[in-house]
């Protein structure tokens, strides 16, 4: 395994500002494999304003995984202003996980959204950490998808189960 040290991370940091999503995502991946987790955590909030939806989504995935509650104001702002449904899906997930007490009302509005990514983001986020109220509401939607006759609904239900880490029975 390759050891990624502080000097390597410092050399790569400028690539976080690159307009090409591939350069930014590669740099994030390298930073995540290094011992420089704090440098990664410092960089992520700024990437929520990157022009590339792919970069914003990658940043949100890491913010959620690292449980970066300090980014909550930035994540909340993104959820309120984001126009890309793919990014908003991950914003809803992160919001539900980071602010499980107060995020329910915001995230629950998307449980029946016509856009599949928004519905998936709301259900996954609330199942991961939505408190009892959120878990029940999201669980009801998930059961309708899994138990329904609609093949597309069943496929969406399977995606949600995979994303939440549950086994389909």
pLDDT tens figures, 1-26: 556 777 888 888 889 999 999 999 99
pLDDT tens figures, 52-65: 999 999 999 999 99
d(CA 84, CA 64): 18
d(CA 94, CA 69): 9
What is the pTM assigned to this prediction? 0.88
Confidence at residue 169, expressed as pLDDT on a 0 to 100 scale: 42
Range in 24-38, 53-67, 85-99 the model is least confident about = 24-38
**Residue 43 neighbours by CB distance under 10 Å:** 20
**Residue 161 neighbours by CB distance under 10 Å:** 19
Residues with Cβ within 8 Å of 4's Cβ and at least 6 positions away in sequence, in order, are 30, 31, 33, 34, 35, 36
């Amino acid at each position: 395994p390759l050891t990624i040290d502080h000097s390597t991370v410092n050399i790569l940091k400028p690539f976080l500002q690159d307009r090409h999503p591939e350069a930014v995502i590669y740099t994030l991946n390298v930073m995540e494999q290094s011992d420089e987790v704090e440098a990664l955590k410092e960089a992520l909030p700024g990437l929520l304003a990157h022009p590339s939806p792919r970069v914003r989504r990658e940043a949100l995935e890491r913010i959620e995984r690292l449980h970066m509650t300090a980014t909550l104001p930035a994540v909340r702002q993104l959820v309120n202003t984001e126009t890309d449904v793919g990014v908003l899906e991950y914003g809803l997930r992160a919001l539900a996980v980071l602010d499980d007490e107060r995020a329910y009302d915001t995230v629950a509005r998307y449980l029946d959204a016509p856009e599949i990514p928004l519905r998936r983001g709301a259900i996954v986020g609330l199942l991961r950490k939505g408190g009892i109220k959120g878990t029940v509401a999201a669980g009801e939607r998930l059961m309708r998808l899994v138990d329904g006759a609609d093949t597309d609904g069943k496929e969406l239900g399977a995606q949600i189960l995979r994303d939440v880490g549950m086994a389909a029975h």
